[in-house]
Amino acid sequence: MQELQSIEQWHDLWEESASRTVFLLKHSTSCPISAEAFQVFQDFIEAQQKPDLQFALVKVIEQRPVSNAIAEELQIKHESPQLFIVKNKHVIWHDSHWRITTDQLEEQLAAL
């Protein structure tokens, strides 16, 4: 999993979505709901065998400019935790909070 620490890294990840599907989690290190979503995300990553997937994380408190740039550029209201699936430079799915579940991620993966 790549941890985004700059807006340039975010832009590189966006470009990479043209060739690989990207799962991006915006995570608050001070929120218990976000901690649960982060664990779901980590478990999901560990179970994946597909090389054409890229997984990334942005810590919204520590990397606020990156988090803000994502919200602004995608024109999707910031929430945390928040998960995006990006393919071919388009957000094909996003959700937040308790709706970030293993079942939901598996369903979205199957739909790719």
Q: Write out pLDDT tens, residues 86-103.
A: 999 999 999 999 999 999
Domain ranges of the chain: 2-111
List, in sequence order, every beta strand (DSSP E) within the chain. 2-3, 21-27, 53-59, 82-87, 90-96
Q: What is the pLDDT of residues 44-86, one digit of tens each?
A: 999 988 789 999 999 999 999 999 999 999 999 999 999 999 9
pTM: 0.94
Chain length of the chain: 112
DSSP three-state, residue 20: coil
Q: Comparing C-alpha atoms, which of 88, 55, 56, 84 is closest to residue 71?
A: 84
Biggest distance spanned by C-alpha atoms of the chain: 34
Task: Classify domain 2-111 at the CATH superfamily level.
Answer: Glutaredoxin (3.40.30.10)
* DSSP label at residue 51: T
